[in-house]
Amino acid sequence: MPRVKRGVAARSRHSRIVRLARGYRGRRGSVYRVAMQAVTKARRYAYYDRRLRKRYFRALWIMRIGVAAREAGTNYSTIIGRMARERHGICRCTLAALTNDTAEKLQYDG
């Protein structure tokens, strides 16, 4: 059976990981073995934080809608309940943007 040489494949695989770890401090950015661990952990954090970002933005939108609702003399749950009952297809993101825009326009007019 002939000998299999994998120098090119290994080099490209290693250089790809080290390229991903560029900018890391110390051996994490230059040594393949350490860079592999750092990149794996970074990717795990990235995956987790993409989900976390959605959670944070939803909380932010709810806060903004709640503030605008209190300024209008009602509360958040009443507004969301009415929208659900009347089946408006508007999401919290859009509603928060609308309340933000209206507040700015009111400030300019006032």
Q: Residue 48, exposed/middle/buried by CB under 10 A (0-12, 13-18, 19+)?
A: exposed
CA dist., res. 52 & res. 108, Å (int): 35
Q: Which H or E element spans position 83?
A: helix 76-86
Average pLDDT, the chain: 90
| pLDDT higher than 50, residue 106 | no
What percentage of the chain reaches a pLDDT higher than 70? 93
Report the pLDDT averaged over residues 50-58. Answer: 97
Report the pLDDT averaged over residues 1-23. Answer: 94
What percentage of the chain reaches a pLDDT higher than 90? 61
pLDDT of residue 109: 45
Q: How many other CB atoms are there within 10 angstroms of residue 22's CB atom?
A: 9
> Structure pTM?
0.73
Res. 104 pLDDT band, cuts 50 70 90:
low
